[in-house]
Structure 1
Amino acid sequence: MSRPSSAPGAASARRLVAPTLALSIALASVYWALPEDLTAWRSAGIVAGWAGTGLLVASLLLMVREARLARLLGGLELSYRWHHRCGLIAYLLLLCHPLALALDGWAEAPQLAWQTLDPRAQSWPLWLGWAGLLLLMLGLASTFAVHLPYRRWRSFHFLLGGGVLLGLTHVYVLLGNEPLLLALLLITTLALGWRLLASDLGLSAHPYRVTQVEKPAAGVIEAALAPCAAALALSPGQFVLAAFGDGPSFHGCGEYHPFTVSGIDHQGRLRISVRALGPCSRHIQELEAGVLVRLQGPFGSFLDDVRWAPQLWIAGGIGITPFIAELRAQRCSQPTTLLYLFRHTADAVFLEELAAASREDAQFVLLTDASGSGLPDVDRLLAQVSGLRERQVHMCGPQPLLATLTAALRQRGVSAAAIHFESFDFR
């Protein structure tokens, strides 16, 4: 087990790496192709096309699922957020590309403008551009289809990579062996290849085996995993992407899903907790010892700064997992209050263990609340926390709860920079 030693400012600096990378690639592309002695609309079309192309390449880089790169870019969740933003902005810019060229033709003749937008009147290199734009449209449409099944969503999402390759090929055929184009094609191919082979097919994954399965609460399992080869270097608060294999009477989903680590020991063995929330996690409730698990990671820096300032931890349901991992690893070095929220006491995992930790560690205070089917009374609960404005707040739980808590904390004077959470929304 290891914990990165970084000052609070280092995390803030890493949050700027992803947008800086995307902006740099886009600006470098525009600078290289900056038009001279052309009409305003044609110049605008060229700039929009190259800015969109640069952002698309950056978007593919930001979806590469590699632990060291993700940490450099501020975390996997932040990388994915900028991946989505870059893809959307790039698509809008690339829509402007043919429209600006058509407006340039309109100044000469309306018929010429229509021919610019009509693929039937164009040669095959331009068809590549239109095909790439169509694939981008279909891929982005799947991004907003939140109810689309995961496997189907993932298949549609790969259309975005095909759209980028077609778009770059479109420009390559028109301009030839330009160094920038070759570099962008190489980056795109490597990013797509790594994501497909190393991440989605699991060639970079670490093999572990399930040694024990416990059921600490209804609809929740905690699985102990032992490494079959080199162990991952994890610290509390981090998560892994896990794909469960087959056992004597268990058949895995075959998909990688994020799970926060709930325990780590010095031999590299770890524990993950899974609540039955979706089709795959419900199936995993039948997990048995002996099943092979492939893990990718570790990802995240959720609790890296817990030794720098007084803490307020807020856990909703299974969101308790990063905090129990931290408490199992070491005693609190700063005054720490854990606010553990759940619907019913029967749903609360590790409750006895948390109560024991609060008795044994004078720095650790446990507050619990069973709210039933509604949201908890956050004002009443936060009023019980002393020195709230001086604390760093770490939250893990369902999105509606996080939104309610964030608003309540801000109203009580807690700065936005002091509020940390990970939503694990990777679609």
Structure 2
Amino acid sequence: MPTIASVSGMVGLALWCASFVLMLRLRGFERAAGGLDRLYWWHHACGAFAYFAVLAHPLALAGEAFDAGGWRAAAAVVTPPGQGAAVRAGWLALALLMATMVATFQVRLAYARWRVAHAVTVPAFLVAFAHAWWFAGPGLRPALAGVLAVALGAIAWRYALGRGWVRSHPYRVARVVRPGPGLLDLELEPVGAPIAWQPGQFVFVAFRDGPGWRGCGEYHPYTIAGGAARERLRLLIRSLGDCTAHLQTVQAGVAASVQGPYGAFLARRDPRRPQLWLAGGVGVAPFLAALGGTAVTAAPVDLVHVHRPDDVLAGACLPGLSSTLPAQVRLHAIESAGDVEEVWAAIAARVGALAERQAFLCGPPALVDPLRARLVAAGIAPRDIQSERFDFR
């Protein structure tokens, strides 16, 4: 009869495997989850619950040992020194998984270091599998073999995805504009068939080598800000790390690999209802894409752009934008050093009644999360609030 210890160990491996599958950005899973950001939430949730299940495994074994032999027997179970190689492998897997959980949820690492820390889950899983295989009986080994096959397939597919070997579309840089320090406004043109995108979607792009320029080759997510005739992709890229800082020097002609599009941020817009579009910094990108399309909406739209006093994007792009907006769209530029109460007061004063609106929020979590709560308190139903947060990890 299966014990709590064996069940928790198997559940932990199965959830661990599921977290690998959910990082593949598969279309069917994305649609079922309601967007890639929610799919990644499930990826994180499976990883976290896998950790708790794996942690429960030695604790359950200790409980069984206590029932049989008291405290001394229980202490022997949770003391790695002196135990066999198979048991020590289990402790090693738990330690590696614990380190990954800390790196993911507790410590804010630079992106390159976070990727390395996150990759530790692969050898940790293999060590955990070896531990489970050693102790599993003949009845459990077929199930374990299935979990391993799915996990290895997911890991191999993710490796190929990260290198552009699968689901990658060739583009090249067609236009480069530098509105100011640390901000890049560029367009990509397709080398072959263009991808079909909708406003509110984003792509993963890796910039390759070009004339006199060498790309970093890493895929990063960028929200589509528009594009000529829906064939090109306009991207607004702020310098936030080593790769995006280097990207500020990119030149026309550089090759790029594009994966996507992903997301459904603006898919639920109802053109008959008044709307609130709230953007923080480069979070204005999906709204620029929507404004560049046909028939934005028949109802009034209030586009609120929150920016810091020295924001280059606000100074370079918004003045020209205000003169080209459709009559039903009002632009509100709110300058703030990060005071959410100040921002909310300005929104309430300028926009007016909010209760019957659809609201779409795009920006950093420090802005989006508290404003979402205030919109609910102001009478907007949670189902009428869509948000996209810039914390894709």
Taking structure 1 as the reference length, the TM-score comes to 0.83
Q: How far has the Cα of 1:319 moved from its partner?
A: 1.0
Q: How far has the Cα of 1:239 moved from its partner?
A: 0.8
Q: How does 1:357-372 map to 2 (within 5 A)?
A: 357-358=324-325, 361-371=326-336
CA distance in 2, matches of 1:316, 1:187: 40
RMSD between superposed Cα atoms in Å = 2.3
- 1:334 matches 2:294: no
> Is the 1:77–1:424 Cα contact (8 Å) retained in structure 2?
no
Residues 103 and 372 (structure 1), Cα distance of their counterparts in 2 relative to 1, 3 Å cut: closer
Q: How far has the Cα of 1:218 moved from its partner?
A: 4.5
CA distance in 2, matches of 1:184, 1:353: 55
- 1:314 matches 2:274: no
Runs of 4+ displaced beyond 6 Å: none
Residues 133-175 of structure 1, C-alpha deviation per residue, up to 9 Å, x if partnerless? 2221222222135432322221121111222232233223333
Percent of matched pairs sharing the same residue: 38
For structure 1, which runs of at least 5 residues remain unmatched after alignment?
1-34, 37-42
Aligned to 1:142: 103
Q: How far has the Cα of 1:346 moved from its partner?
A: 5.0
Match for residue 43 of structure 2 among 61, 83, 97: 83
- 1:389 matches 2:349: no
CA distance in 2, matches of 1:141, 1:123: 27
Match for residue 318 of structure 2 among 345, 351, 359: 351
- 1:100 matches 2:60: yes
CA distance in 1, matches of 2:364, 2:117: 27
Residues 297 and 424 (structure 1), Cα distance of their counterparts in 2 relative to 1, 3 Å cut: farther
Aligned to 1:20: none
The alignment of Structure 1 onto Structure 2 pairs a total of residues equal to: 384
For structure 2, which runs of at least 5 residues remain unmatched after alignment?
none
> Is the 1:241–1:256 Cα contact (8 Å) retained in structure 2?
yes
Residues 211-268 of structure 1, C-alpha deviation per residue, up to 9 Å, x if partnerless? 1101234432211101122322211111111111222333222221111111134462
Aligned to 2:247: 284
Moved more, 46-55 or 180-189: 46-55
Residues 163-221 of structure 1, C-alpha deviation per residue, up to 9 Å, x if partnerless? 223223322333347332222111111111111122x2221222210011012344322
Q: How far has the Cα of 1:125 moved from its partner?
A: 3.4
- 1:411 matches 2:372: no
Aligned to 1:72: 32
Q: How does 1:23-102 map to 2 (within 5 A)?
A: 35=1, 43-102=3-62
Q: Secondary structure at the match of 1:263?
A: coil
Aligned to 2:386: 420
Q: How far has the Cα of 1:353 moved from its partner?
A: 4.2
Match for residue 163 of structure 2 among 196, 201, 204: 201
Q: Secondary structure at the match of 2:391?
A: coil
CA distance in 1, matches of 2:159, 2:61: 35
